[in-house]
A and B are shown apart, each in its own frame.
Chain A
Amino acid sequence: MPTVIVNNKPVEIGASERLNCIQAAERAGVEIPHYCYHHDLSVVASCRMCLVEMGDKKPDGTIAMQPKLFPGCQTPVKDGTVIVSDSKKVKDAQKATLEYLLLNHPLDCPVCDQAGECGLQDYSYEYGRGYSRLQEPKNIKPDKDYIGDQITLFTDRCIMCTRCVRFTREISGTAELQVVSRGTHEEIDIFPGDPCNNKLAGNVVDLCPVGALCSKDFLYEQRVWWLKSKNSVCPGCSTGCSINVDQNNDVLYRLKPRENPQAQGAFMCDEGRFGWKYIHADNRLTLPEQRANGQTVSKDWDVILPAVRNALKEAALRAPNKFAAVISPWATVEEAYLLATYARKLSPTAKLAIGPVRTVGEDDLYPKDVHGKPVTPTKFTIHAEKCPNRRGVEAVLKQIQGSVIEFSSVLNQVSKGEIEALYVLGGDPEGWIADADVMKLDKLKLLVVQDLLASAASAKAQFVLPGGAWAEKDGTFVNYKGLAQAIHRGLRGPGEARPDGRILMELSEKPGMFQAPALRKEIAKAVPALAALSVGDLGELGVPLETAAAKSELQPA
């Protein structure tokens, strides 16, 4: 195996791996500071923060060092490469580069959104000097809030790493951002009238290592050290981007992509990034409700849960063939399993349907050329299927029922009177039934709606159970290519809303608390297509459902 020596520590790399110094040093647990380098973007080697000393270890064991410094991001390593990042020469270079970067930086950390997660702060602490030797006035560059609908540019904080420029050229392909002017006066800007509004624009804020590009949505909302972060999965489409949910005191402030090469890579789209506002919407269901003849009977979980249980049992006894449950593709695998097994326990002939699978347009592929046509290789896809877990729900339904019933056919049967009792597990913020179809629900004898938002359909239900949004619960989503990823409870739901898994556990009188890892193990045994869930803990990157059986199950029709 090729061996690289980083600060006197040997580290092995793969025989066919092509690593640069930064990556090789990371293997050895050594951080080489860098700004402009990003593994998904082209290498420009312009920030000069990652300068290291390099040499070669000869077969006879002697080490020959090169007299100059090399940018670590640009220089590949091979067997016998020696990297030194802690010598005086390197430290002097790091110190000098940081001093240059901070020379014209406004040092307005107290009012800067990036403070607390800033590359300049972190590296200054680690590698910099504590004071500036510049006596002259700093360059002052104008702020540019016109740079995009969702992004704003504090030009004077910019360190010209050009990550944002390269992102719009290489990943989105839209190329709105560019460098204007020259030398110390250069700035990031847009061509007049062509703001950076592509569907991936929000990523430039994450890519910006300093506080120059900021999200207008998050601007001045929170200090980042107040935020608590949980790993989750974006529910916006079937891509299933790995994300972080950042909240404070049960208020969600922002979503950030979490790097996952198995899922989407390092980025996420703006639809997902800013599409979570319904979590704090005014029409969230906050209390359970039992209604009879249009009148509220109770708003107490302790009363309502037994009442729902009884009503379902009665309905299943009365007409076992006219009993149906609808499970939204926004539900987790665990919830789908709990409801499906519960419904089949009540009535072995219960019909199990998947809620409406919303698709909008075509899959949106990036990068694009100047005419908006996608170019290969594809680096990011926004899927047309706007739900996070169709595959997971379908896998459960296929196992328990043998097939998947579409919601439209359930609705048909409802209007024909072939279904009398309906349990709907929602979760899609866009709702699960068109307004024109709501009238059809009048024929039902029993309607239980477990959902997020109040709607015309929930107003018709005998029982309304306020469930949790995806950020408020634990569970599993299976994305378009069969990657099972864990979502985690980042915040508590409003009022008395409860995570859906817990509601279903209590309803079905399943013993114990809702524990996603334990349930996954149970599901793995019961549903062979989901056997990969047997690990219980899916880790940060998720687990592909890669068995042959699972693959055939999960192939799109």
Chain B
Amino acid sequence: MAEFQPVLLARIGKPDSQLLETYRRDGGYEGFKKALGVAPVDVITLVKDSGLRGRGGAGFPTGLKWTFLPKDHPGPIYLAINADESEPATFNNRILMEEDPHQVLEGIAISCYAIKSKTAYIYLRYEYGRSYRALQKAVDECYAAGIFGKNIFGSGFELDVVLHRGAAAYICGEETGLIESLEGKRAWPRIKPPFPAIEGLFRKPTIVNNIETMACVKNILDKGGEWFKSLGIPPDPSNPRDAGSYGPKLYCISGHVNKPGCVELPMGITARQLIDEHGGGVWKGRTAKAVVPGGISMGFMSASELDTPLDFNGPGKVGCLGLGTAAITVIDDQTSMVDVLFNCARFFSHESCGQCTPCREGTAWMHKILARIRMGEGQLRDLDLLNEVAGSMGIIPGTTICGLSDGAAWPIKNAIKKFRPEFEEYITTGKKTVKPAEALMAAH
């Protein structure tokens, strides 16, 4: 196979890649101009036909989402960009925002034109200071150059882009939590329906999209839907709900590898390829015991499942919740799964917004149980209790308002199912391998 040439990351690493001047030299904002020359509905059709699915984690078809907006709505319609990239070990949006903000902004401008929105909000997580400065500078440049504002390029289209910095909470990455937070409220996810496309930000129709999705939209305008569809994996005929996994994807590699980082590849690469060919292999000559496919809420792939293709359909086949953010975290064979799971539970307990009872109490309870097991005071029946708590927290959709509860419960069930002997050995032998990881993690 010929070496894949990065598209989304094409400009990363070039000198002054954040500047409008260099961006335009590389053909920047031509796609936006092209879009302005056709009807908005044609842009939607183009994106829809390209097979682009949202890069935020759920993988919902982007063009289809756009068509959910009410027809002939008098406005305002809002575009809210989810840049609250808070899934652990995920940093693909960050690279785009820090190194090539104009690519993202062009995608936003095109999307706004397509959905007839005059205002886009970028909801940026607080921790991303460098992204904030880069994006703000880029936005200012765009206003100065007439790319944002009134009557853009003489087309009569107007657009305002507002950068909003969150206050650091995982739940703000949930689309309705994000909307509540943007409105200045506590980020408690909303009950759906109504979905944001009908009633979202300030009770107006709103589309919430991810940063990487915006970069994809920009490149679809440049290179066409056919190009996008030529990459990736077509739908799995055995799964009628699979809409295919097309296009390039940013994969993050972190954990116990020699060369952590973010790489762009066509969708469908396997975890083993990512580790060996792009992550420099597992560190210290060890082997991988488990890999998280994309954010810890997706669960774990065991060593025997590493040849699973990382597309929207693949991880689900091996018991993971889905592809998630495609940010693999490699866990080596010297790491205790008890410690890993304890960290997972602690994270979700800390980040549960506390609105729904099962999640608020369940995440904290699982954290307490795992802390006890980890301290060597566990009993074998605790594993069944963990399973039961995780089961009642919301594997069936509908137990809570948003998906955090499902995401918190999944790795617990998943890890106990796949690594039960290890947990049992830990509990019965009383082997205390508690590392001072807690101190390291306390910063979070």
Q: Which among B354, B396, B398 is the interface contact of A160 at CB below 8 angstroms?
A: B354
B388 to chain A, nearest CB (A): 8
Asked whether, in the complex, the Cβ of B349 is within 8 Å of the Cβ of A182, the reply is no
Note all chain A residues with C-beta closer than 8 A to B400.
48
Q: Which among A49, A67, A93, A179 is the interface contact of B392 at CB below 8 angstroms?
A: A93
Asked whether, in the complex, the Cβ of B354 is within 8 Å of the Cβ of A103, the reply is no
When chains A and B are docked, how far (Å) is the Cα of A186 from the Cα of B397? Answer: 24
When chains A and B are docked, how far (Å) is the Cα of A136 from the Cα of B400? Answer: 24
Asked whether, in the complex, the Cβ of B398 is within 8 Å of the Cβ of A135, the reply is no
Within 8 A of B (CB), among A90-108: 92-93, 96-97, 100-101, 103-104
Chain B residue nearest in CB terms to A178: B186
Note all chain B residues with C-beta closer than 8 A to A68.
396-398
Contact with A along B379-409 (1 / 0, CB 8 A): 0000001000000100011111100000000
Q: Is the CB of A357 closer than 8 A to any CB of chain B?
A: no
A220 to chain B, nearest CB (A): 29
A45 and B349 in contact (CB under 8 A), knowing A134-B365, A183-B364?
A: no
Chain B residue nearest in CB terms to A47: B357
When chains A and B are docked, how far (Å) is the Cα of A18 from the Cα of B352? Answer: 33
Asked whether, in the complex, the Cβ of B191 is within 8 Å of the Cβ of A183, the reply is no
Chain B residue nearest in CB terms to A134: B365
A54 to chain B, nearest CB (A): 10
Note all chain A residues with C-beta closer than 8 A to B371.
136
Asked whether, in the complex, the Cβ of A92 is within 8 Å of the Cβ of B392, the reply is yes
Contact with B along A136-160 (1 / 0, CB 8 A): 1001000000000000000000011
A100 and B191 in contact (CB under 8 A), knowing A67-B396, A134-B365, A183-B350?
A: no
When chains A and B are docked, how far (Å) is the Cα of A135 from the Cα of B356? Answer: 22
Note all chain A residues with C-beta closer than 8 A to B360.
100, 160, 183-184, 186
Note all chain B residues with C-beta closer than 8 A to A51.
398-399
Note all chain B residues with C-beta closer than 8 A to A186.
354, 360
Asked whether, in the complex, the Cβ of A183 is within 8 Å of the Cβ of B398, the reply is no
A184 and B354 in contact (CB under 8 A), knowing A46-B401, A136-B372?
A: yes
When chains A and B are docked, how far (Å) is the Cα of A43 from the Cα of B191? Answer: 9
A219 to chain B, nearest CB (A): 27
Note all chain A residues with C-beta closer than 8 A to B362.
100
Contact with B along A494-525 (1 / 0, CB 8 A): 00000000000000000000000000000000
Note all chain A residues with C-beta closer than 8 A to B365.
100, 103, 134, 136
Q: Is the CB of A74 closer than 8 A to any CB of chain B?
A: yes
A93 to chain B, nearest CB (A): 7
When chains A and B are docked, how far (Å) is the Cα of A103 from the Cα of B399? Answer: 18
Note all chain B residues with C-beta closer than 8 A to A405.
none
When chains A and B are docked, how far (Å) is the Cα of A340 from the Cα of B308? Answer: 93
Chain B residue nearest in CB terms to A186: B354
Q: Is the CB of B361 closer than 8 A to any CB of chain A?
A: yes
Asked whether, in the complex, the Cβ of A182 is within 8 Å of the Cβ of B169, the reply is yes
Q: Is the CB of A287 closer than 8 A to any CB of chain B?
A: no
Note all chain A residues with C-beta closer than 8 A to B363.
183-184
A45 and B357 in contact (CB under 8 A), knowing A100-B362, A184-B349, A184-B364?
A: no
Q: Is the CB of B160 closer than 8 A to any CB of chain A?
A: no
When chains A and B are docked, how far (Å) is the Cα of A100 from the Cα of B361? Answer: 6
Asked whether, in the complex, the Cβ of B357 is within 8 Å of the Cβ of A101, the reply is yes
Note all chain A residues with C-beta closer than 8 A to B392.
92-93, 96
Q: Is the CB of A70 closer than 8 A to any CB of chain B?
A: yes
A46 and B356 in contact (CB under 8 A), knowing A68-B396, A96-B392?
A: yes
Note all chain B residues with C-beta closer than 8 A to A139.
364
A179 and B186 in contact (CB under 8 A), knowing A68-B398, A97-B358, A135-B372?
A: yes
Q: Which among A69, A136, A179 is the interface contact of B369 at CB below 8 angstroms?
A: A136
Asked whether, in the complex, the Cβ of A48 is within 8 Å of the Cβ of B357, the reply is yes
Note all chain A residues with C-beta closer than 8 A to B188.
46
Q: Is the CB of B355 closer than 8 A to any CB of chain A?
A: yes
Number of interface residues of B (CB under 8 A): 32
B212 to chain A, nearest CB (A): 28
Q: Is the CB of A454 closer than 8 A to any CB of chain B?
A: no
Q: Is the CB of A44 closer than 8 A to any CB of chain B?
A: yes
Q: Is the CB of B49 closer than 8 A to any CB of chain A?
A: no
Q: Is the CB of B353 closer than 8 A to any CB of chain A?
A: yes
Q: Is the CB of B141 closer than 8 A to any CB of chain A?
A: no
When chains A and B are docked, how far (Å) is the Cα of A136 from the Cα of B385? Answer: 13
Q: Is the CB of B264 closer than 8 A to any CB of chain A?
A: no
When chains A and B are docked, how far (Å) is the Cα of A93 from the Cα of B400? Answer: 11
Contact with B along A153-195 (1 / 0, CB 8 A): 0000001100000000000000000010111111000000000
Q: Is the CB of A88 closer than 8 A to any CB of chain B?
A: no
Asked whether, in the complex, the Cβ of A184 is within 8 Å of the Cβ of B361, the reply is yes
Contact with B along A34-59 (1 / 0, CB 8 A): 00000000011111110100000000
When chains A and B are docked, how far (Å) is the Cα of A135 from the Cα of B372? Answer: 9
Note all chain A residues with C-beta closer than 8 A to B361.
100-101, 103-104, 184
When chains A and B are docked, how far (Å) is the Cα of A186 from the Cα of B363? Answer: 14
Within 8 A of A (CB), among B128-161: none
Q: Is the CB of A133 closer than 8 A to any CB of chain B?
A: yes
When chains A and B are docked, how far (Å) is the Cα of A69 from the Cα of B391? Answer: 13
Q: Which among A49, A92, A136, A179 is the interface contact of B354 at CB below 8 angstroms?
A: A179
The residue among A51, A104, A184, A185 with the most chain B CB atoms within 10 A of its own CB is: A184
Note all chain B residues with C-beta closer than 8 A to A100.
357-358, 360-362, 365
Contact with B along A347-367 (1 / 0, CB 8 A): 000000000000000000000
Contact with B along A66-77 (1 / 0, CB 8 A): 011111001000
Note all chain B residues with C-beta closer than 8 A to A49.
357
B376 to chain A, nearest CB (A): 14
Contact with B along A402-432 (1 / 0, CB 8 A): 0000000000000000000000000000000
A182 and B191 in contact (CB under 8 A), knowing A68-B398, A70-B398, A133-B385?
A: no
Asked whether, in the complex, the Cβ of B399 is within 8 Å of the Cβ of A69, the reply is yes
The residue among B169, B355, B368, B397 with the most chain A CB atoms within 10 A of its own CB is: B355
Asked whether, in the complex, the Cβ of B357 is within 8 Å of the Cβ of A182, the reply is no
Chain B residue nearest in CB terms to A53: B398
Q: Is the CB of B305 closer than 8 A to any CB of chain A?
A: no
B128 to chain A, nearest CB (A): 20
Chain B residue nearest in CB terms to A96: B392
Q: Which among B191, B350, B398 is the interface contact of A69 at CB below 8 angstroms?
A: B398
B20 to chain A, nearest CB (A): 39
B234 to chain A, nearest CB (A): 28
Chain B residue nearest in CB terms to A49: B357
Note all chain B residues with C-beta closer than 8 A to A43.
191
Q: Which among B353, B356, B369, B401 is the interface contact of A182 at CB below 8 angstroms?
A: B353
When chains A and B are docked, how far (Å) is the Cα of A70 from the Cα of B398? Answer: 6
Note all chain B residues with C-beta closer than 8 A to A181.
354
Asked whether, in the complex, the Cβ of A45 is within 8 Å of the Cβ of B186, the reply is no
Asked whether, in the complex, the Cβ of A48 is within 8 Å of the Cβ of B352, the reply is no
The residue among B169, B357, B396, B397 with the most chain A CB atoms within 10 A of its own CB is: B357
- 16 extra interface residue pairs, beta carbon distance < 8 Å, beyond A100-B358, A181-B354: A46-B188, A46-B355, A46-B401, A48-B357, A51-B398, A68-B397, A69-B399, A93-B392, A96-B358, A134-B365, A136-B372, A160-B357, A182-B350, A183-B350, A183-B363, A184-B360
Residue ranges of A at the interface with B (Cβ–Cβ < 8 Å): 43-49, 51, 67-71, 74, 92-93, 96-97, 100-101, 103-104, 133-136, 139, 159-160, 179, 181-186
7 CB < 8 A contacts A-B: A48-B400, A71-B398, A136-B372, A159-B357, A160-B357, A184-B352, A184-B363
Lowest 6 CB-CB distances: which A-B pairs, in order? A68-B398, A96-B392, A184-B364, A100-B361, A136-B368, A183-B352
Residue ranges of B at the interface with A (Cβ–Cβ < 8 Å): 169, 186, 188, 191, 349-358, 360-365, 368-369, 371-372, 385, 392, 396-401
